Amino acid sequence: VFQTPLPTSTAKTDYAQIMRDVANYRGIPIADARAYVQSLPDWWQYAPDGVHATAGGYSAVTRNALAPVLVPLVAAARCKTGA
């Protein structure tokens, strides 16, 4: 699973888009944390220094960007192994 980086004030390239393109090309699931965070109307409050997310920011990303991708994969893997 790929996870795009959070938006930052220091990004010089669109690394997140490159990750999306590679994941799509390779058929790799992607948790698009960047798109989720940027969809929030006041997303800068979650990264007040322009680089690092706050605890609340990481929690929101986990619930809304990572879990929707990871939970089904883990559930499918558990079903295959009988765990």
Tell me: pLDDT of 69 over 70. Answer: yes
Q: Taking the C-alpha atoms of 43, 13, 67 and 52 in order, what is their torsion angle to the nearest 10 degrees?
A: -50
Q: In this structure, are residues 16 and 5 in contact, taking their beta carbons and an 8 Å threshold?
A: yes
pTM, entire model: 0.81
Return the amino acid letter for 9.
Answer: S
pLDDT score, position 48: 86
C-alpha distances (whole Å) from 17 to each of 27, 54, 82, 83 are: 15, 23, 36, 36
Q: What is the pLDDT of residues 8-57, one digit of tens each?
A: 766 667 888 999 999 999 999 999 999 999 899 988 888 888 888 899 99
Return the amino acid letter for 34.
Answer: R
